[in-house]
Every structure is written in C-alpha cells, then in structure tokens.
Amino acid sequence: MSSQKIKSTYGLHVIISAIILLVFWLMPPIAPVTPLGMRILGILFSVIYAWMFIDTIWPSLIGIILLGISGYMPVDKAITTALGNPLVNMILYIMILTGAISEAGLCDYVAKWFLTRKINNGRPWVFTTMILVASYVLSVMTLVTSSLFLLYPILYSMFEQFKLKKEDAYVKILLISVAMAGTLGFATTPYKGALPAMFNNYANITGTSIDYFPYMVVAVILSLVSILAMVVVIKYILRPDISAIKNINYEQLNKEPLQPLTKKQMILLGALVFYMIWVLMPSILPQGVVRDFMNNMQNGIAILLVALGCALKIEGEPIIHFQKVISKYAAWSVILIVASAICIGNALTAEGTGIIPLLEQITQPIFEGKSILVFTILMIVISFVLTNLCNNMVIGMLMIPIFYLFTQQMNTSSLPIAILVFFITCIAMITPSSSPVGAILHGNSQWLSAKDIYKYATVFCIVTLLVTIIVGLPVVSLIVG
C-alpha cells in the first residue's frame, strides 16, 4: 500500500475506530452482557481495529486509559496493571539482552556458521534446510524481525553470487520460507513476544499456569518437523528450478572465514543460555527452596543479566551499552501491545461483565456433542484462520475462555489445547495485518509480489497447521497428558 493511500485513509480509520467505541458505550447492553461488559467490548474491538489499520503504539496507550475510565478500575491502577506488569518489563529486558547479542555480531556469526558447513557441498536441499534452521535458531535467540533483517541481506548477496534472479521461483520461495522458519522460532519461545500475555491470561482464567519446559518441548518438535515438511513440499510439490545451486560448495560462501568468538560474544551467548536454563528449570525441578527461588526470579533474571552486562567491562567498554541497545532494539509497539492486551484481556473475563456467559451462549450450540478431539481440531483451525487476519495475541486470549469452558464441561484438562492453540496463533504471516513478519513480507515489494506472498505463505502456514494437528495432538498428549 502506498504512503499516499495510507495518509488518505488514516483519518477514516480513526473515525471508524472511534465509532466502534461509541456504539458499544452508548447502546443498551445485550443480555447477559452488563453495561460494564459493553464498554469493555467496545474498547477491545476499537483497539483491535486500530491495531489492524492505523497503528500499534498510540491505540495501545489509549486502550489502557479507556479501561481506566470505563468503570472497570481507576486510571492509575490501569496504568500500573499494564505498564507496571512484571511480564511487560521482562519482555523489555529480554529485548535488551537479545539486542546486545545482535549488536555484538553474534547473530551474523551463527548465520554464516550454518551456511558454511561442508555438509552443504553439492546438496542444495540440505543447504536450503540449513538456511531455514539458521532462521529458526536466530529467531529463538533474538527477535524474528531481527533474524530476517540479518538473513535477507546475506541471501540477496548469495542470489547475486549464484546468478539467481528476482523472478526465479526458488528466490521467492526461499525468502518466504525463511520468514516462516523465523515465525516458528517466535512460536517456540514463551518468554518473548505475544506468548507471555497469553500464558498470563490463561493463568488468570484457569488458576493454573503453563510451565515453559513442556511447552518448548512441544514447540521445538512441531517447528523442526514443520521445517522438514516445508523442504519436502518445496522439493516435491512446488519444484522450483535449483540448477544454479546444484553444485554448491561451502567455500563459495566462506570468502571471509569465521573467526573465533570474542570474549564479549562468548559472555553474551553464555548469558542467553543461562537465561533459557533458568526459565526452564522450575518446570523440571522438584518442589523445594531452589525451585521456589527460581520461580520467584522468573521475571527478574533478565533484568539482573542486563544489569551485570552493563556493569562488566571489556577493554574499558561495557558488555551491554544500555542506551544504545534500547534505542535500537526495544520494539515499543510489541511492548505496548502486550501491556494493553494483558490489561484488556483480564477485563474481558472479569466477573460483572457478563462476557463469559455470553461466550457460553454462543459456543454451546456450536460445540455441543463434539468429542474433545474434534473440538481441539476446531480450536486449532479457527485460531489459525483468525490469527492470519488480525493480532495473534488477541486471538489467543479470546480463545482461552472458549476452550476452558468446554473442557470444564467435559471434565478434562485444558492444558493440551492451550499449548497447541497458543503455538498455532503465532503462525501468522499471510496478510500484512497478521504480524510484523507479514508486514515485512508485503513491504518487500522489490523482491516479492502480493501474489507470491499469498501463494507461498499460505502453503507454508497450512503445512504447519497440518503438522500441528497430525503431530501435535499425539505429542502434546504424550508430554502433558
């Protein structure tokens, strides 16, 4: 979409967002929703519309303030609940830690390491797989957007070296599949992006939390199987011409051999590994003092590591330049969406709004008589469709009361459904409004047309959807019961 068109429709979208809010605030309540519930729904739909068509930052801030004047809670409490939430602060400091890793050149090192392995020699499909795995690992280490901004220039240079043209199907497929692999990395880490808000809302509604370790085990399995399935689909169904890289040799991409990691890079890599171990260990350790202490520090360990990185110096320079890193790598749009969504999500399911009884009335005729297997598949498919149309965090949070109510009626655990629904809601990149990855793809008009994106992104997303259903159901049943 051109900047001129965006400017011409900006005011219209602002007006529509305001009208949505006013309609819900002024119209008589629809039983069983209360007047407060109508105002909460008005805030939700108005903010969602603004996120999709206007911006992510200022609508998030206004959503927090509106919640404070809706009668749900005082403005001061709304601000504290949203911006003072420990999860929001954790996400900010994770961005600083992973930003410092990117700034130190560690991501570039990892990307080149995958591309310059001898196993790639004369094996174009192994090479393709290594590129996708590199995107996945980088996304787990940092942010999916950062991994794309790092990998794409490397791929552009590779295309030029092997005389691959922008019009070649392999070029388009590789650029989009790399984005898909990065999205899988985003779906793997429950301590970054949208997942912490979903986990937080799930705990508030159900009274039980989702441990990071079992979630990540399921997510890693689904992601790696999805990557392999994508390569199979590319090779045997899409069948692009790969003659240009048929005889690929790693030395062609190794003109500047990798140097040993610097002290700074090793310390930052160690800090990231330490953090991941820390957040996973409470899921494994038995009850006791150590587990309680590690649980208590879940949201504080990232802050501590950043503080130590700022304090420690190598050759007179801090390991983490706080001001430099935060100005470059803090994704405030993500931080504010999470803050706003947590606050609004908790309000949606609060007593006195009547929204939960409304959901019961709507969903009961649809899902009545369905087995738990059929219901789970329906939840996964519905979440997948909706998340590719609008914000994945909101979709994930809207699904929680629906599947929780159903599992309560069936007298079964909602945890397996939650894990699969949260994973699939992260698989969003088909439309520009679905995620930052979708926006990056549609904004890369020099290399990709909208037709290319809708064609190949849909294929890769459906591959992951099928893997989530076929592989995910037995895996999650085996791991969490």
Residue 290 has pLDDT above 70, yes or no: yes
For residue 398, being part of any structural domain is answered with no
For residue 216, being part of any structural domain is answered with no
Count CB neighbours of 13 within 10 A: 16
Q: How confident is the model over 231-281, as pLDDT tens digits? A: 999 999 999 999 988 888 877 777 777 788 999 999 999 999 999 999 899
Please give the average per-residue pLDDT across 289-305, as a whole number: 92
- 342 pLDDT band, cuts 50/70/90, is confident
CA distance 219 to 223: 6
For residue 92, being part of any structural domain is answered with no
For residue 39, being part of any structural domain is answered with yes
Query: What are 143's two structure tokens?
Result: 């942010």
Res 238: pLDDT: 95
Q: What is the mean pLDDT of the chain?
A: 90
Count CB neighbours of 287 within 10 A: 7
Res 421: pLDDT: 96
* Lowest-confidence region among 104-113, 122-131, 162-171, 215-224: 104-113
- 3 pLDDT band, cuts 50/70/90, is very low
For residue 462, being part of any structural domain is answered with no
Q: How confident is the model over 433-456, as pLDDT tens digits? A: 778 888 889 888 889 999 999 999
b/e sequence 227-248, b meaning 16+ C-beta within 10 Å = bebbbebbeeebeeebebbeeb
Count CB neighbours of 31 within 10 A: 10
Residue 170 has pLDDT above 50, yes or no: yes
Q: Which domain holds residue 58?
A: 1-75
For residue 391, being part of any structural domain is answered with no
Residue 2 has pLDDT above 50, yes or no: no
> CA 391, 395, 398 angle in degrees (round to 5)?
140
For residue 344, being part of any structural domain is answered with no
Q: Rg for the chain (alpha carbons), in Å?
A: 23
Q: How confident is the model over 419-432, as pLDDT tens digits? A: 999 999 999 998 88
For residue 347, being part of any structural domain is answered with no
b/e sequence 343-373, b meaning 16+ C-beta within 10 Å = bbbbbbbbeebbbbebbeeebeeebeeeeee
Number of domains making up the chain: 1
pTM, 2 dp: 0.86
Res 7: pLDDT: 57
